[in-house]
Chain A
Amino acid sequence: MKKYIIITTALLFSALVWTGCSDFPVDEDGLLITTRSQCYVSNFELLGPDYQTVRTKAAVIDTTAQTINVEVLYGTDLKNLRPQFNLITDAKIEPKVIGFVDFSDLTNPKKWTVISGNRKVNKTYTVYVTVQVKP
């Protein structure tokens, strides 16, 4: 009986060790690479230097055309904005948003690439900013 208990315990322990050591790869940013292939932006926010939104209304995200259209308040300082992207689970975005982004060159809209959780699907979104017009 004692022998069986020891064998069973040893087997369970081995199973646990096997499970515990299964390899979850991480990418160069230390983020887990998963099996998800979905790749899209679900929400977009644009904040001013005072961390208040500068949008006049919700941004329009077209996941097929891979565009984001956002209208900002009249008087917004386009040189100092902080974009915030909500992504599908496990996805990441490049280039990383660090500090302020200059959106003042409206003829050359900024682009960000969303990379899926399995790191195999890339989709580049273009962010078009328009400024509310003073009547």
Chain B
Amino acid sequence: MQRKYYSLLLLLIPVFIFNACQNDEYSIPEAKTELQNDCILRSLGPNVVGLNIEFVYAMALGSNIGKINSAQVEATIAGASGTYLENRSFRTNSSGVDTPYTIGNPSSTTGTKTVVTFTKDTCAAALRYYYYIPEEARGKTVSFTFSAKASTGEEVSYEMGPYTIAKMDMKLSLVLSDNNLCYFSVADMIAYTAAEAATKADKIDLVYLYRSITGITFAHALASPANTEYLPGITLPSGVGNSTKFWKVYGLRDRHLANLQYGIYVDDIDFQELDLTSAPNYGINMKAESGAWVETSDGKYRAYIYVNSVNNTAKTMTVSIKRYQMK
């Protein structure tokens, strides 16, 4: 009986081997000749009003079949001024450099549609699309339909999105100066002089000052008007007295705020989940590339202030800010 099983097993083994060694026939696949398209998103990070969302839209058809007539992008919300579709196709050369080839006229935008009409006999192109995020898209989602038409009458399209547009605002490179533009308003994202601050006392959230005090490290500071302990030598304009929560941070170098350096992004969710219950209302010895989470005294705004640079001689601090409205 056992020998019977062995014989059966021996018979099965060659069958397996025979099957395993079977050659699969291979032939070089033929390129499709009909009009095709593809799209990728190039930009990273949160989509902030005023910045752009960048795509690359690629389209191609068989070289002897016909040529591409036009490419179009339609957004669900019309882009802000500056939105365009490249009229140059880029390819990366052997040195890693993007080399452009003009394929048509500069794009024209009407409402939500941006179109490039091809003037060169082109069967393949990769066009970049820059959608400048408009104010009306804040807090909404936006989607895109990329499409291309060929001389063969074919038409293809590619859907991208939806992409969420951040609610937060952003302002870059605000210069604060000691004893001059030192009254900072988170609500306005502007630094005021003492005279200006007196006219909008309720909007002044922080005071910038630079002090070189022997025996302690004070240097560049941002303090709430309510905390005069950290405002030596400053006489506040009448009515200025807000207490702003201020949480010092080091190493959070937001790419948007740090002039496209580093790879961290502060996004809406960071503000939503921020807990500044136990935060103080001042920060002294602020250094370049440090920052602070901030919450205004009325709780209306939360912000992240990033210190781009400080200048001890000029007694200035350059900051960039992302601000989120809570109420």
Which residue on chain A has the smallest CB distance to residue B283?
A: A75
Give the chain B neighbours of A133 by CB distance below 8 A: 215
Instruction: Decide: B215 and A50 in contact? CB cutoff 8 A.
Output: no
Which listed residue, B250, B251, B284, touches A75 by the CB 8 Å rule? Answer: B284
Min Cβ gap A48→B in Å is: 7
CB distance from A101 to the nearest CB of B (A): 11
- Whether B285 and A73, one on each chain, are in contact in the complex, defined by CB atoms closer than 8 angstroms, is yes
Could you tell me if B216 and A77 are in contact, using CB atoms closer than 8 angstroms? no
Bound form: Cα–Cα A134–B214 in Å: 9
Which residues of B sit under 8 angstroms from A50, Cβ to Cβ? 248-251, 290
User: Across the interface, do B248 and A48 meet the contact criterion of CB distance under 8 Å?
Assistant: yes
Per the 8 Å Cβ criterion, residues 76-121 of A in contact with B are 77, 79-80, 100
- Bitwise, B239-257 to A at CB < 8 A (1) or not (0) is 0000000011111000000
B280 adjacent to A135 (CB under 8 Å): no
> With A and B bound together, what is the CA distance between A50 and B287 in angstroms?
12
Of the residues A75, A77, A79, contact of B218 by C-beta under 8 Å: A75
Say if the beta carbon of B282 comes within 8 Å of chain A: yes
The total of interchain contacts (Cβ-Cβ below 8 angstroms) comes to 44
CB pair B248 A75 closer than 8 Å = no
Write the A2-27 contact mask toward B (1 if CB under 8 angstroms, else 0): 00000000000000000000000000
Q: For window 32-73 of chain B, which residues contact chain A by CB distance below 8 Å?
A: none
Q: Is the CB of B280 within 8 A of A74?
A: no
Per DSSP, chain B at the interface is: loop
Interface residues as binary, B200-220 with A (CB distance below 8 Å gives 1, 0 otherwise): 000000000000011111100
Interface range, A side: 10 to 19
| Of the residues B221, B251, B278, contact of A79 by C-beta under 8 Å | B278
- Cβ of B230 within 8 Å of any chain A Cβ, yes or no, is yes
Which residues in B have their C-beta under 8 angstroms from that of A49?
A: 247-249, 279
B213 CB contact (under 8 Å) in A48, A100, A135: A135
Instruction: Chain A residues near B248: list those with CB within 8 A.
Output: 48-50
Given contacts A48-B248, A50-B248, contact A100 B216 (CB under 8 A): no
Closest chain B CB from A134 CB (angstroms): 5
Residues in B neighbouring A80, C-beta threshold 8 A: 278-280
Expressed in whole angstroms, the Cα–Cα distance for A100 and B275 within the complex equals 13
A13 to B216, CA, bound (A): 67
Q: Is the CB of B250 within 8 A of A52?
A: yes
For residue A63, CB closer than 8 A to chain B, the reply is no
Chain B residue with Cβ nearest A79? B278
Chain B residues within 8 Å of A48, by CB? 248
How far is it, in angstroms, between the C-alpha of A132 and the C-alpha of B280 when the chains are bound? 18
Tell me how far the C-beta of A49 lies from the nearest C-beta in chain B, rounded to whole angstroms.
6
Closest to A48 in B: B248
Residues from chain B with Cβ under 8 Å of A51 in the complex = 250-251
Question: What residue of chain A has the Cβ atom nearest to residue B223's Cβ?
Answer: A75
Shortest CB-to-CB span from B39 to chain A, Å, is 41
Is A134 a contact partner of B278 (Cβ separation < 8 A)? no
| Residues of B close to A134: CB separation below 8 A | 213, 215-216
For the complex, give the distance between the alpha carbons of A83 and B216 in Å. Answer: 22
- Binary per-residue interface labels of chain A (43-55) against chain B in the complex, 1 for a CB within 8 Å, 0 otherwise: 0000011111000
State A51–B250 Cα separation when bound (angstroms).
7
23 A-B pairs with C-beta separation under 8 A: A49-B248, A49-B249, A49-B279, A50-B251, A50-B290, A51-B250, A73-B216, A73-B217, A74-B216, A74-B284, A75-B221, A75-B230, A75-B282, A77-B280, A80-B278, A132-B215, A132-B216, A133-B215, A134-B213, A134-B215, A134-B216, A135-B214, A135-B216
- Where the two chains meet, the residues of B that have a C-beta atom closer than 8 Å to any C-beta of A are 213-218, 221, 230, 247-251, 278-280, 282, 284-285, 290
